[in-house]
Amino acid sequence: MDLHGGNIYKIKGGEKMLDYSANINPLGVPTSLKNLISNNIDKLVNYPDPKYTDLKKSIAKYTNVDADNILVGNGAVELIFLIIKSIKAKKALIVAPTFVEYKRALELINSNIDYISYEKNNSIFVTPVEKIKKEINDKDYDLIIICNPNNPTGHLSALEEISKINKVAKKNKCKLLIDEAFIDFLPSGEEISSKNLKDENIFITRAFTKFYAIPGLRLGYAFIFDKEIIEKIEKEREPWTINTFASIGGKVLLEDTKYQQDTFKWLREEKSYFYKELSKIEGVEVFKGQVNFILLKIKDKRFTSSLLRERLIQKEIIIRDCQNFEFLDDSYIRLAIKNRKSNEVVVEALKNIFKNYF
Amino acid sequence: MDLHGGNIYKIKGGEKMLDYSANINPLGVPTSLKNLISNNIDKLVNYPDPKYTDLKKSIAKYTNVDADNILVGNGAVELIFLIIKSIKAKKALIVAPTFVEYKRALELINSNIDYISYEKNNSIFVTPVEKIKKEINDKDYDLIIICNPNNPTGHLSALEEISKINKVAKKNKCKLLIDEAFIDFLPSGEEISSKNLKDENIFITRAFTKFYAIPGLRLGYAFIFDKEIIEKIEKEREPWTINTFASIGGKVLLEDTKYQQDTFKWLREEKSYFYKELSKIEGVEVFKGQVNFILLKIKDKRFTSSLLRERLIQKEIIIRDCQNFEFLDDSYIRLAIKNRKSNEVVVEALKNIFKNYF
């Protein structure tokens, strides 16, 4: 099966289907970026600035983090790989279920990987702060990874929780990697971000991908407050991994407040609608998340996640089968939240499939 | 100093100067690609196909190499790093002077690096085949790297020479990495490419960057006939390093025969003109190359390469100071070949500077 959602290429006609498997903002590619690209195609004739100075300045301005603490990359994924490689963790703890690329990056450096499970409480996931602290105290981890808000559960670890974990981690010489790929979907994202701890022990990655609906452009950034490590990464990395359009696009996107406000408005309305409608379907349990996707557990014994996926592909809807996530099994699926018309189609399809809940 | 040419961002007003430091086709971004990008900006909303199947098919068709033997990357540089990492060379031999990224990639895996020098014969560089063979037989190299045609000397190692080196290398369990980033500037490029040896021992990297004038797009490919290694690289690499425009652009560029023919015509005429005119300047020795740049040695004792670079920046011309290339010193510079009007400006500037050759 696929490691990720969004692989529409494996499915015949996939490009024309409703893709609920990738958590992409349905407002689509921002007009501001489209215009910028159209007007600057000739810029491809130059190498991008190898230091990406202007891009870093824009991110610094928007996030209020010093440009010297910012690393930019070919999507957040390049940065996750670079950071994990630079930390050289011998033993790592991943709070799961979560994004699978942490595991892949850790395997490349032959890390020992342990998992600790999020807890469930009345269809809401919870970060097990005390258990994580105990694990760190008991074992010799070099690195803990937390996706926040977490994919695929959609729940948020509070800044205070991260701070508590970090205190114990730091005491045990264990670094913290926080993946904030979805945090900008929260209007309060900048306030609740772990960047506010400005701690050398914490590495934070972020993406333009989901919020600005541009997985094809490849742009992400990281906050690294450990001066030695950020300098080492910059010194050793391959040159020019960020293409010209991504490198000039970041500024325009961060300044597009209209797109940002429209996104917040859409998500507020549609999350509430989609959650309410899905909750009416008896065959599934719906987990309450904070961002632009929803995790569901199939209760109807007639369906596994892969079977349900097949059935929905027949209805031209692609969903994310979650059985390859640690601690999840073949009863879990993830749905993106899209616009009302599409969400209605998905609700209708699921209602039909589960109408005789067994 | 800069590791590479083309860093126009470090120079005040650099974007408006004549950039002779980067070896980019002066015909500029092909219209075919510009149209493709303009018409497909909305495609950024999807992740690129993680397997890049269509892109590989196009390259396979154009190069007549099986798609299973093709790896695609974020410029040739990503592929050079991936290949060197996968070969894990303990001891490597670089034929030099040459592109500096091989060294950087080897340093990351803690390789021991030796250099062997190209030889000069009447202002033409020559590949020292017998000396290389002897080195391989005498020492325990795991990897030899040859840039072909070579940057910055511009000379070509014949297929027969590569084949001779490979035979001895293979016997000694030493792999060969051939960087063909400039081979498409030769109309006979496909015939004289090392790909024709189809040998498991040979790894070949190529770029769209220089020929199609798109360093900002980031697209390269590699031929790997060792099935085990190509599978391992694909399995371990980061996903989506090639952006959507690069991934759909490859096909259009390879099919743009008009641009290719125009390029051959331009280069035939301008190489001959530029070489002839530069050769008239007494203060420099001009090396005869095969592709779109020319290496010069300053004979005039009043000038070092960095001094000459500074003088030319005052005239709004950026050249490549070659003193950071192995075996070259501060008397070498490299000039791209551009269009007639610009080439005339550079010839004039150099004639003026060297008019009282000392």
DSSP secondary structure, A294-319, as one string:
EEEEE--TT--HHHHHHHHHHTTEE-
**Beta-carbon separation of A49 and B7 below 8 A:** yes
| Nearest chain B Cα distance for residue A281, angstroms | 29
CB contacts of B42 in chain A (<8 Å) are 28-29, 34
The pLDDT, as a whole number, for residue B145 is 98
Rounded distance between C-alpha atoms, residue A188 and residue A183, angstroms: 9
Q: How many Cβ pairs closer than 8 A exist between chain A and B?
A: 158
Q: Tokens 């070659």: give the residue.
A: B322
**Which residues, at least 6 apart from A203, have a Cβ–Cβ distance to it below 8 Å?**
A83, A87, A175, A176, A177, A178, A222, A223, A224, A226, A229
Residue A166 Cα distances to A88, A101, B337, angstroms: 18, 22, 56
Which residues of chain A lie closer than 8 angstroms to B53, CB-CB?
9
From CA A312, how far away is CA A307, in angstroms rounded?
9
**Sorting pLDDT into bands at 50, 70 and 90, what band is A211?**
very high
Tell me whether residues B44 and A236 touch, CB distance under 8 A: no
Closest CB to A41: pick one of B8, B34, B51: B34
pLDDT (average), residues A202-224: 97
In the three-class reduction of DSSP (H, G, I as helix; E, B as strand; rest coil), residue A280 is classed as coil
Low-confidence ranges of chain B (pLDDT < 50): none
Angle, vertex CA A241, rays to CA B324 and CA A189, nearest 5: 135
Report chain A's mean pLDDT, rounded to a whole number. Answer: 96
Residue in B with minimal Cα distance to A32: B41
Please state whether A333 falls in left (phi above 0), alpha (psi between -120 and 50) or beta. beta
Indicate the pairing of strand B220-224 with strand B70-73. antiparallel
Amino acid letter for position B115: Y
When scoring A102, A238, A245 by the number of chain B Cβ atoms within 10 A, the one with the most, hence best to mutate, is A238
- High-pLDDT (> 90) share of chain A, %: 94
Question: Which site among B41, B51, B86 would you substitute to test the A interface, given the most A Cβ atoms closer than 10 Å to its Cβ?
Answer: B41
CB contacts of B37 in chain A (<8 Å) are 37, 41
Does the pLDDT at position A203 exceed 70? yes
Q: Give CA separation, A177 vs A84, A241, B264, in Å.
A: 8, 22, 51
Whether B50 sits inside 8 A of A4 (CB atoms) is: yes
pLDDT of residue B251: 98
CB contact under 8 A, B6 and A104: no
Q: What pLDDT is recorded for position A1? A: 61
- Our CA dihedral for A262, A263, A268, A273, rounded to 10 degrees, sits at 100
With beta carbons under 8 A apart, name residues in chain A contacting B81. 238
Q: Do B44 and A215 touch (CB under 8 A)?
A: yes
Cβ A259 vs Cβ A30: under 8 Å: yes
Confidence at residue A5, expressed as pLDDT on a 0 to 100 scale: 81
Is B46 close to A81, i.e. CB distance below 8 A? no
Tokens, residue B53: 């199947």
Flag if B216 and A4 touch (Cβ within 8 Å): no
With CB atoms and an 8 Å threshold, state whether A46 touches B8. yes
A190 and A260 in contact (C-beta within 8 Å)? no
Mean per-residue pLDDT for A301-312? 96
Sign of CA dihedral B17, B23, B25, B30: negative
What ipTM is given for this predicted complex? 0.94
Please name the residue of chain B whose CA is at the shortest distance from the CA of residue A213. Answer: B45
Question: Is a pLDDT exceeding 90 seen at residue A12?
Answer: no
- Interval A27-52 mean pLDDT: 97
